[in-house]
């Protein structure tokens, strides 16, 4: 089986490539932009049969120059939610994806692609329904625009199309993402470097650190992607989160205790961590005011109805696993 992974050196793409390797897929075509060369580390150990720069791949794929492709995992995107260049965002996240979808349909190639919970913006309900979709930034809009195209194509699709609206993903191989890395990654580094982690204080009607998100470990994201690879009859746009909303305080609490456990120190309550200065609250930056999601929680009804019965890690378990991976120095 020959499979393409775009954004292959990124966080989710590289974890998909490693999972495909473990599953015995022996022909993985990696597509990415490696101007930041250190991202190659994410692909070490994956069975890559070929590599294309993103500027070369899409045209060659459309011209059918790559042979018979079974499926494309399209993870490549501009994922910086603070990026204000609408032309860049629409070109990268919409037009590129639309052209890829068209080529896949013409060739009978299955397409699993990354959408985003940013589509929901400040909605209070996170269900795959148009009335719930209120993006707060051009990133979320670019993802919604493509999802809408997919919805129109699905009734007459000639091959599988699956869009997965990722919620707050954390886990291995995100060290290259800078400010867009997960809060778990930043908290780990903050605690390692300064002995404290920082959270936003009161905002949006929520108390300090009480804003809630649906935090999902990248291993769970990969497992669901591969489930759809094994079920080619399933199509649609689906939420991919845990279905649980947990406060940022839970992440900070888990990070601190996981790091303490590695040093042989006992676990502390959140209250003790705050009183001892291990957890600190700061004002939300002005640039985020009015653009910040205070709550996300995936409605998993459609995903479960499709047959996905995967059991997702909670924050305490997932964060502990991630801290072990980070502390082992597995990644640069």
Could you give the CA distance from residue 192 to residue 252 in angstroms, rounded to a whole number?
A: 13
Q: What count of other Cβ atoms lies within 10 Å of the Cβ of residue 262?
A: 12
Does the annotation count 166 as an active-site position?
no
Closest CA to 74 of 47, 89, 92: 92
Q: Classify residue 230 by its DSSP letter.
A: T
**Please, which residues have CB within 8 angstroms of residue 32's CB and are 6 or more apart in sequence?**
6, 7, 8, 9, 10, 13, 39, 51, 53, 54, 76
Could you give the CA distance from residue 16 to residue 18 in angstroms, rounded to a whole number?
A: 5
DSSP secondary structure of 303-325: HHHTT--PPPPPHHHHHHHHHHH
- Long-range contacts, 36-43 (Cβ 8 Å, 24+): 36/176, 38/176, 38/332, 39/9, 39/10, 39/176, 40/9, 41/331, 41/332, 42/9, 42/10, 42/11, 42/14, 42/173, 42/176, 42/331, 43/8, 43/9, 43/14, 43/17
DSSP, collapsed to helix, strand or coil, labels residue 72 as strand
Could you give the CA distance from residue 105 to residue 82 in angstroms, rounded to a whole number?
A: 32
Catalytic residue, chosen from 94, 113, 139, 170, is: 139
Does the annotation count 177 as an active-site position?
yes
Residues 28 and 87: beta-carbon distance below 8 Å = no
**Please, which residues have CB within 8 angstroms of residue 218's CB and are 6 or more apart in sequence?**
11, 12, 15, 169, 170, 171, 172, 173, 174
Residues 74 and 175: beta-carbon distance below 8 Å = no
Catalytic residue, chosen from 2, 51, 98, 177, is: 177
Closest CA to 174 of 1, 15, 4: 15
Catalytic residues: 139, 177
């Amino acid at each position: 089986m020959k499979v393409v992974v775009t954004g292959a050196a990124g966080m989710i793409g590289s974890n998909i490539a490693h999972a495909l390797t473990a599953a015995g897929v022996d022909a993985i075509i990696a597509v990415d932009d490696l101007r930041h060369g250190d991202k190659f580390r994410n692909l070490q150990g994956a069975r890559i049969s070929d590599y294309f720069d993103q500027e070369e791949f899409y045209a060659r794929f459309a011209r059918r120059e790559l042979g018979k492709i079974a499926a494309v995992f399209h993870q490549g995107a501009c994922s910086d939610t603070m990026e204000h260049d609408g032309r860049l965002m629409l070109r990268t996240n919409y037009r590129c994806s639309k052209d890829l979808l068209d080529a896949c349909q013409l060739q009978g190639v299955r397409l699993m692609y990354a959408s985003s919970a940013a589509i929901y913006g400040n909605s209070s309900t996170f269900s795959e329904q148009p009335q719930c979709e209120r993006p707060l930034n051009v990133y979320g809009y670019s993802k919604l625009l493509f999802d809408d195209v997919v919805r129109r194509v699905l009734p007459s699709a000639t091959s599988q199309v699956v869009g997965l609206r990722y919620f707050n993903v954390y886990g291995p191989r995100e060290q290259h993402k800078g400010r867009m890395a997960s809060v778990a990654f930043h908290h780990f580094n903050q605690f390692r470097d300064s002995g404290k982690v920082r959270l936003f204080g009161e905002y949006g009607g929520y108390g300090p650190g009480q804003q809630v998100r649906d935090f999902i470990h990248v291993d769970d994201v990969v497992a669901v992607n591969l489930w759809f690879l094994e079920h080619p009859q399933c199509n649609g746009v689906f939420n991919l989160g845990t279905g649980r909303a947990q406060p940022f305080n839970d992440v900070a609490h888990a990070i601190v205790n996981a790091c303490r456990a590695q040093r042989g120190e006992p676990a502390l309550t959140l209250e003790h961590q705050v009183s001892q200065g291990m957890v600190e609250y700061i004002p939300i930056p002005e640039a985020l005011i009015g653009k910040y999601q205070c709550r996300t929680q995936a409605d998993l009804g459609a995903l479960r109805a499709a047959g996905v019965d995967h059991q997702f890690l909670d924050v305490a378990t997932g964060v502990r696993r991630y801290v072990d991976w980070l502390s082992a120095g597995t990644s640069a």
